[in-house]
Structure 1
Amino acid sequence: MSAPCRSLLVMSREQFLDPRLLDAVADAWERGWRPADLVHAVGRSAPSLAGLAAAVAVASVELLGAERAVPAEWDAQVHEVRRQARGATAPGDDVHQLWLQVRLLPPLPRLAEVPSRWPPRSVGGAREAAAPGHVAGAGAAARALRRIRALLAKAESTDFPEEAEALTAKAQELMAQHAIDAVLVAAAATSRPGGPGAAAPEVAERRMHLEAPYLDAKMHLVSAVAEANGVRTAWFASLGIAVLIGMPADLDAVELLVTSLLVQAGRAVQAAGRHGGAHSRSRGFRRAFLLAYAVRVGERLEAAHRTGTADATAAASARGTDLAPVLRDREAAVARTFDDLFPRLRRRRTTSVDRTGWLSGRAAADAADLARRRPLPS
């Protein structure tokens, strides 16, 4: 008997895993859900059930792994949610409530295959060697991401808004250049003798989870960062989940920037509360502050992205590579994939906001002169 099956039997004796619960979770996977999504959604609506949801998600994927090749993304998510499963208990009422929660989850659009379509575990055991260009590209990408993370870490730690915004703008420029580098690597691979030839751009999907409070303001921040990086976003507001569609390098940029900017925005709104009156600590002020911060940061990131893209494209052109057609094809592929996944998407309008908070948030996002008066890390 495999290890996952032994785990299932032990947990069943502790009333952890009712077969109905496993069936409900397996059905959720087929409707586009993934382990981190499931635990996040359950935790939002019923925090006391999050640990049990994590335990069931882990056990379900372990069972799948006994027969099928589990994708790396799922392995990574299981590693993350496993910590939430520790010490979880499963009274009968909790099992029933979680079963109801899971059964009522709406379907989520997805690009990747559902578990029932994963290849058997015995297939593809030997991996093909990566092409030399791909290996070199991966090494350069890792170096670029390390440099970008270092810039954003400094932006999060500084107490000077001007320095934080200059560092963030520099990180955005590097991300744009990193995305162009990824285009060049892909173009070189397709043009190499024996290469696959001109292939359709590889559009990917990523999901981000946000927590209250000020969820709509945080959603606007994600959307602003995504738009500045050529990524399309659809929101499941009731679930606190965003689905991002774009090129892998662009999705990496959005995730890194959003994570950092949420920290920076939180620090900025707290500083405004300390230095202002009682009104600056109200929910209305803080929500308006964060909405304005998102809008203005998006404008500044878009300008920085244009600068980084122009510099990298000019450098490629000097070497005899015209990237304009490739970039147009990638943009069209992202738009086409997004429209296919979300044919009936509705736009949401932001309700009225506190004027003082809006102006303060915009000023906080606009405080820096991005001419980078002080030296930045290389």
Structure 2
Amino acid sequence: MDSVIDRAFAAALYGDGDDGLDTGASLLAAAPETDADLRRRGEEYLHRAWRHGWQPADVLRLVRRDLDDPHVRLAADLIRAQTARYAHLPPRWPAQLADLDANTGPGGDHRDRFTRATVHLQLYRLLLRLPPIEPAGPLPGDTVPGPVHGEPRTLTRIRALLAKAEATGYPEEAEALTAKAQELMARHSLDDALLAARTRAKDVPTACRIGVDAPYETAKAILLDAVAAANHCRAVWNEAYGFSTVVGFDADLESVELLHTSLLVQGTAAMTRAEAGQRAAGRKRTKTFRQAFLMAYAHRIGGRLAEAGEHAVREAATEAAEASRDAAALLPVLAARDVAVTDHAERMFPETTTTRVRGVTDAEGWHHGTAAADRAHVTPRDRGPALP
């Protein structure tokens, strides 16, 4: 049985053309006794991917980008089975697996054996070629601190504010809700930092990966970079694999994920409304309008979010002084955490470059994107995101 698998893999997985795939699929289709081993090999490739720094969401994002729906369903099925083998999963993995279940579903496979074998081999070719990347957390199976049941009340309030901002049809209300959410995020970060300092907790930076999907991925990466910077984190964009790695303390990483997702939803909704108006006026250059809109939207975000964070720091210092506490202790704590984040990011990514942003050619798109960014409480940054 192994000899059939080995011959099929040798033919299919180490070349770029279809001839090898056809040969490998023919061998497997003619040997039903290889089915269990074929599946086991796929789980082994996933195990290898985890050891090389990949996570379930990373793998599925790449499969969805480069292959087709049958490959996505197969990858999701293999990920479910493979991760079920571990007694412990890293903290962020259960949420990724829940998203996987929500977005793919099990689904049966009623195609002929040759087609099924081809899908397996195409997926395995992709998995085999995944290079090592920077690890963003512990490996599955490692013993890690148990999950905290529930979440801080502040995060619950932040989620509610952002949900209202996404749902409202009134730009001024969305602006106010988003600004309040960012202020609460900043206060949550300050409280977390001061608590760690007082208790001498061994709180250290970590990392998470956030998908940056096409189209207009440069604008989306700049938006994420701005949100990360406003929340005391650093984002490094991997354009080739469609994600940014965000480095920071856990409380700040949660804020970045929440706010980035919300701002994308708000920006996309605003872009759709503005684009409808442009089409009604007879314009047809949809792609250039969208690109300019999202670039302007991203370009405006950083300073306005920083303003909300600075306001929270001033308020916290004032409250500390009024309560006869040492307000001057606040800034050294924040500075030490910023240094820790920078050091951790530089160890993970000793070499980065900045990407050149293409010129924007649609003035109307830029104008509407800037206006939408102002309503979403954002302002400019003048550099592109870092690239590994």
- The 8 Å contact of residues 180 and 313 in structure 1, kept in 2 or not, is answered as no
Equivalent residue in structure 2 for 1:98, among 109, 120, 123: 123
Equivalent residue in structure 1 for 2:41, among 15, 20, 23: 20
Stretches of structure 1 that go unaligned for 5 or more consecutive residues are 1-11, 191-195, 371-378
Equivalent residue in structure 2 for 1:57, among 76, 79, 92: 79
Equivalent residue in structure 1 for 2:257, among 255, 258, 268: 255
CA deviation vs aligned residue, 1:112-139 (integer Å, no higher than 9, x gap): 23347x24xxxx9xx89x9xxxx9xx98
- Structure 1 residues 81, 14: CA separation in 2 closer, same or farther (over 3 Å shift)? farther
Q: Which residue of 1 aligns with 2:371?
A: 363
- The 8 Å contact of residues 162 and 369 in structure 1, kept in 2 or not, is answered as no
Alignment-mate amino acid for residue 182 of structure 2: Q
Find the residue that maps to 2:107 and give its secondary structure: coil
Q: Which residue of 2 aligns with 1:327?
A: 334
Equivalent residue in structure 2 for 1:348, among 352, 355, 368: 355
Task: Describe how 1:5-154 pairs up with structure 2 within 5 A.
Answer: 17-48=38-69, 49-63=71-85, 65=86, 68-83=87-102, 84-87=104-107, 89=109, 91-115=116-140, 118-119=142-143, 142-154=152-164
- The 8 Å contact of residues 304 and 377 in structure 2, kept in 1 or not, is answered as no
Q: CA deviation at 1:153?
A: 1.3
Q: CA deviation at 1:219?
A: 1.4
Q: Which residue of 2 aligns with 1:316?
A: 320
Alignment-mate amino acid for residue 99 of structure 1: Y
Q: In the aligned structure 2, how far is the partner of 1:282 from the partner of 1:223?
A: 25
- The 8 Å contact of residues 163 and 368 in structure 1, kept in 2 or not, is answered as no
- The 8 Å contact of residues 55 and 88 in structure 1, kept in 2 or not, is answered as no
Alignment-mate amino acid for residue 366 of structure 1: D
Find the residue that maps to 1:233 and give its secondary structure: strand
Find the residue that maps to 1:106 and give its secondary structure: coil
- Structure 1 residues 24, 100: CA separation in 2 closer, same or farther (over 3 Å shift)? same
Q: CA deviation at 1:210?
A: 3.0
Task: Describe how 1:151-190 pairs up with structure 2 within 5 A.
Answer: 151-190=161-200
TM normalised by structure 1 equals: 0.81
Q: In the aligned structure 1, how far is the partner of 2:118 from the partner of 2:34?
A: 16
Q: CA deviation at 1:244?
A: 0.4
Q: Which residue of 2 aligns with 1:3?
A: none
Aligned length: 334
Q: CA deviation at 1:348?
A: 0.4
Q: In the aligned structure 1, how far is the partner of 2:306 from the partner of 2:331?
A: 18
- The 8 Å contact of residues 134 and 348 in structure 2, kept in 1 or not, is answered as yes
Find the residue that maps to 2:358 and give its secondary structure: coil
Q: CA deviation at 1:363?
A: 2.1
